[in-house]
Structure 1
Amino acid sequence: MSGGLRVTEHPDRLVVTLDRPEKRNAIDADLIAALHEVCAELEARPRLLLLTGGTEGIFAGGADIGQLRDRGRLDALAAINSAAFARVRALPMPTVAAVDGPALGGGAELAYSCDLRVCTDRAVFGQPEVRLGILAGAGATHRLPALIGEARAKELLFTGRRVDAAEALRIGLVNRVVVEPGELLDVAHGLLDEIAKGSPLALRLTKLAVDAPPAAHPHLDLVSQAVLFSDEEKHRRMTEFLERGRTRRPAD
């Protein structure tokens, strides 16, 4: 795929790699357009998503500052980056970001838009926007507080301080840290393999319920469970579980 993305298809997932190494994977308009194409494909045929910058020591150095400097107020209101990241966040099936090296500004916000994050120990997250005269307008102002708490998020957003991998794990910004960069994608795929053991419909409805506003509960949970109780997959999986229990030998 053009636009600064490489897409590899697997039966149950897409692997999407940011591919602008000469620009430190900076997020420009072409990459955003390509990201919308990926989202359209995953909306039409829901699958898992692995989003990565590869293992070259850079996830995404942020938005393309050259383009960002020339954008005006109408461009800001057009939600160029935030609309694409919101679309990633709303994808039907779970998503994982695999982060090696810096994920800064819009690059960090793209990682936050995924459901889960794994990173190498050389990963760095940061929101330097206020030092450039703008705010983190592509999701960090609301996704970061949800991930790490309001006070920590405000500190990072107000100061632009960078967070290394160890701190990111400690504060809940990432789920796992990998020491060897070459193992990053294996760990990310392993996490997706565990997720893929679940019922696809149950995964979709679980994600929908977790991401729903508080006012939607418990009504959304009840309706979702009613749908799942009528699903043939539920009956098959529970029957297999019971049959395994019957064939299991009792402990001596």
Structure 2
Amino acid sequence: MNSPDVAVSPDVPSPLLVERRDDRVVATLNRPDKRNAIDQATIDALHALCAELEAEPRTLVITGAGGVFASGADIAQLRERRAADALAGINANAFVRVNELPMPVIAAIDGWALGGGAELAFAADIRIGTPDAKFGNPETGLGIIPAAGATWRLKEIVGESRASELLLTGRIVDAAEALSIGLVTAVHPAADLLAEAHALADRIARNDRDATIATKRVLRAPRVDHPRVDLESQAVLFESPEKHRRMTEFLERRAKRSAE
């Protein structure tokens, strides 16, 4: 395991600590004094990490330091942004890139995931949380909309009616409700959160990487593309040596159990 990236200069801590392993990367949002508010430096670091994971696909685990996932976008920076900045999609494009990584993205959420922090969590394929996890999009109270993915990702996750209520009121969702509406798939004690994220990554790593990448890609395809996209992806996998190897091992194990 490689050591995390720890700094961008001797005096300025990196906003994103990155721990690299052969089959996964753990990225920790690291602005604890700002409750991990997502600023331009964080966005730049996410783009750099995405470029790495596009070139060398691995599962990504995203979490936050200091008992907070991310309290939102950095309001001091957001206040100064103008129309051209909105059209540039500063946060939105970074979160699209995270969402479209070839391998799965797991968000491990403790504490607040608000505004842009919630939208980063929504960009993950799998979300798990702690009992202290809280989600919300209070943007309309600040005179803006949640434009970095919540207006379309949240309804895909929890349904249009529920998403409408949450986005239009800005109401905070606690961990129990997040679990009940499918916003997270599991709730674990804070001390176990990263271990549970690694357990998910372990399960993913046991599967064939090409099949995992294909499954994620096909899951994202529009309904009109099915079943064509499924069959085309399956055709490629049917020709792979790994498919033959794994199925041969399965049949050999079954034959051995039958003979015992």
Q: TM-score range by the shorter chain?
A: over 0.9
Secondary structure at the residue paired with 1:193?
A: helix
Match of 2:151 among 141, 148, 156: 141
Among the aligned pairs, what percent are the same residue? 57
Q: What is the CA–CA distance in structure 2 between the aligned matches of 1:147 and 1:196, rounded to whole Å?
A: 24
What aligned pairs does 1:103-118 form with structure 2 within 5 A after superposition? 103-118=113-128
Q: What is the CA–CA distance in structure 2 between the aligned matches of 1:64 and 1:141, rounded to whole Å?
A: 20
Q: What is the CA–CA distance in structure 2 between the aligned matches of 1:215 and 1:29, rounded to whole Å?
A: 37
Match of 2:216 among 207, 213, 231: 207
Matched, 1:99 2:109: yes
Residue equivalent to 1:31: 42
1:250: how far off?
Answer: 5.9
Match of 2:227 among 218, 230, 236: 218
Secondary structure at the residue paired with 2:135?
A: strand
1:246: how far off?
Answer: 0.7
1:203: how far off?
Answer: 0.3
Q: What is the CA–CA distance in structure 2 between the aligned matches of 1:216 and 1:49, rounded to whole Å?
A: 27
Q: What is the CA–CA distance in structure 1 between the aligned matches of 2:124 and 2:99, rounded to whole Å?
A: 6
Residue identity opposite 2:228 in structure 1: H
Residue identity opposite 2:256 in structure 1: T
Residue equivalent to 1:44: 55
1:249: how far off?
Answer: 4.0
Match of 1:18 among 18, 26, 29: 29
Q: What is the CA–CA distance in structure 1 between the aligned matches of 2:76 and 2:164, rounded to whole Å?
A: 27
What aligned pairs does 1:59-208 form with structure 2 within 5 A after superposition? 59-178=69-188, 180-208=189-217
TM-score (norm 2): 0.94
- Matched length: 249
Secondary structure at the residue paired with 1:228?
A: helix
Q: What is the CA–CA distance in structure 1 between the aligned matches of 2:139 and 2:222, rounded to whole Å?
A: 28
Structure with larger RCO (C-alpha < 8 A, sep 6+): 1
Q: What is the CA–CA distance in structure 1 between the aligned matches of 2:223 and 2:35, rounded to whole Å?
A: 38
1:216: how far off?
Answer: 1.3
Q: What is the CA–CA distance in structure 1 between the aligned matches of 2:23 and 2:225, rounded to whole Å?
A: 29
TM-score (norm 1): 0.97
What are structure 2's unaligned runs of at least 5 residues? 9-13
What are structure 1's unaligned runs of at least 5 residues? none
Q: What is the CA–CA distance in structure 1 between the aligned matches of 2:257 and 2:159, rounded to whole Å?
A: 45
Residue identity opposite 1:126 in structure 2: G
Q: What is the CA–CA distance in structure 2 between the aligned matches of 1:48 and 1:200, rounded to whole Å?
A: 10
Secondary structure at the residue paired with 2:72?
A: coil
